Structure 1
Amino acid sequence: MPAPGATLSPFSDLHHADAPLLLPNAWDHASAVAMARQGFPAIGTTSLAVAAAVGLPDGAAATRDETLKLALVLGSQPFLLSVDAENGFSEDPGAVAEFARQLAAVGVVGINLEDGMGAVDRHAAKITAVKSAAPGLFVNARTDTYWLGEHDGGETLSRLDAYQQAGADGVFVPGLADDRQIAALVARLDVPLNVFYSPTGLTVSQLADLGVGRISLGSYLYRRALGAALEALDEIGEGRRVGGRTPTYQETLSLSATAPPRS
């Protein structure tokens, strides 16, 4: 919970509302604008999709330039933008802080930083450096204990405690899916908990009841889009009618950065 009398940013406010922030993750201008038009006030980016779209590996600090370029395109749009920055694209806290400053300068309001189960002190130093360089940027500190299969609740909590103390505004535990573990973690934390949505896991309503502050879709929508394209190819090749929702040419054109604003 925020400290009494604290002034929150609009993006931070969304993490402290009655319902959790459901954050869809985009990979380009069209996907972000389309999601915003669905009524989502905040949009995140997904590092996997950004990397896959240009043929680079995810989680290897290979897409710093692509991530910044996308932020330049989306940061001035009329929605709140949070950027998935992997590990900050550097092990040097100063370099991570400079990248965060550049993001904030183009209108980004949040950054996601993952520890990859590296040294706790180093990740905490990155968080502190980012908050010093860009105080208004919402830092969502991710630990990969569950994502990498460790499933160690004690290790997770000790890492999250360190990240909270370093200045994180929220914490993220991808792969955490058990309702009792989620509830216990929410009760111990001083900042909002972020988890991934899973189509085979807890519903948004169930996660809300557990006190989760933010639910990210990660690369799910991008992978669904790829799946829909492959399904359409199968249907076309087999002579079947193509199903699913397909935007028209004009609707898609309206998502262009050069298209006139919608009235």
Structure 2
Amino acid sequence: MSVPRATPNPFSGLHRAGTPLLLPNAWDHASALAMAGQGFRAIATTSLAVAAAAGVPDGASATRDETLRLALVLGSQPFLLSVDAESGFSEDPDEVGEFARQLAAVGVVGINLEDGLGAVDRHAAKIAAVKSAAPSLFVNARTDTYWLGEHDETETLSRLDAYQQAGADGVFVPGLTDAREIAALVERLDKPLNILYSPTGPTVAHLTDLGVSRISLGSFLYRRALGAALDAVDEIRAGRQPGGRTPTYEDVQSLGAGVALARHI
């Protein structure tokens, strides 16, 4: 059986030290189109929001179907789409590869795969399986040494080295916010480094100076949206007029054009 050939991926070219990709994470069609309307050429999904909308925990491999459905809706839109696929929704590398092939078939250009501090060789095998099944897909290999672990620099580099060798196109270390450690990783890595934005961490400008190639917003925007809704409810209940930006009904209705007609309430 012949191995699929990789085709040039424009998403890969957006990962550049000095001019990093600022990547907002959407959770549905409306949020993705709204962000694209702000000039973002690439949009990612966030697994936390997809899981929360389905009423299941994030990271539990319970949203494979929901993630694929969202990719089907967004993959044909006029922006580059990267999908947060947790750990691939399976421990079988071949199944992860097949899921990646399905994503690529509907127009997805990138996939984010997290190791959850599981076995390095198993995660490396998943990465290799994805690159075999969907060669043009940009694989962002995430290690959770800072998100879930003990902030071990040696273990982080060891894991990232294995994932680079397995074929990852970029590597991701969420939870890493120390400027010195970020700069050291940039110097040691062969692939673009992705850092998760944190309001208490380095600014976008500082991350740019450190050589980071991709800055993800993760679930931050979704959590802010929920927070804004709660703030608005509190303001209304207290007899005050809510502040902040509020799109009109027509604004939101227009985001669904061509997908489905919204039902009046």
Q: In which range does the TM-score fall when normalised by the shorter chain?
A: over 0.9
* Counterpart secondary structure, 2:184: helix
Partner in structure 2 of residue 129 of structure 1: 129
Paired AA for residue 249 in structure 1: Y
State how far apart, in whole Å, the 2-side matches of 1:91 and 1:136 are.
22
Partner in structure 2 of residue 141 of structure 1: 141
Listed as ranges, the gaps of 5+ residues in structure 1 are 1-6
State how far apart, in whole Å, the 1-side matches of 2:177 and 2:11 are.
25
Partner in structure 1 of residue 187 of structure 2: 187
Paired AA for residue 215 in structure 1: I
* Counterpart secondary structure, 2:139: strand
Q: Contact 2:15/2:192 (CA < 8 Å) preserved in 1?
A: yes
Partner in structure 2 of residue 21 of structure 1: 21
* Counterpart secondary structure, 1:131: helix
State how far apart, in whole Å, the 1-side matches of 2:212 and 2:227 are.
29
State how far apart, in whole Å, the 1-side matches of 2:23 and 2:242 are.
29
Q: Does residue 91 in structure 1 map to residue 91 in structure 2?
A: yes
Partner in structure 2 of residue 38 of structure 1: 38
What are the equivalent positions in structure 2 for 1:108-119 lying under 5 Å apart? 108-119=108-119
* Counterpart secondary structure, 1:231: helix
Partner in structure 1 of residue 3 of structure 2: none
Partner in structure 1 of residue 239 of structure 2: 239
Paired AA for residue 238 in structure 2: E
Listed as ranges, the gaps of 5+ residues in structure 2 are 1-6, 261-265
TM-score by length of 2: 0.94
Farther off after superposition, 251-260 or 85-94: 251-260
TM-score by length of 1: 0.95
Deviation, 1:259, is 6.4
State how far apart, in whole Å, the 2-side matches of 1:206 and 1:133 are.
37
- Per-residue CA distance 1:126-179 (angstroms, 9 max, x = gap): 000100000000000000000013110000000000000000000000000000
State how far apart, in whole Å, the 2-side matches of 1:176 and 1:249 are.
39
State how far apart, in whole Å, the 2-side matches of 1:8 and 1:18 are.
22
Identity over the aligned pairs, expressed in percent?
80
RMSD: 1.2
Deviation, 1:15, is 0.2
Q: Count the aligned residue pairs.
A: 254
Paired AA for residue 243 in structure 1: G
Partner in structure 2 of residue 175 of structure 1: 175
Q: Contact 1:29/1:257 (CA < 8 Å) preserved in 2?
A: no
Partner in structure 1 of residue 69 of structure 2: 69
Paired AA for residue 202 in structure 2: L
Partner in structure 2 of residue 4 of structure 1: none
- Per-residue CA distance 1:48-81 (angstroms, 9 max, x = gap): 0000011111000000000000000000000000
State how far apart, in whole Å, the 1-side matches of 2:235 and 2:259 are.
32
Paired AA for residue 206 in structure 1: H
Runs of 4+ that moved beyond 4 A? none
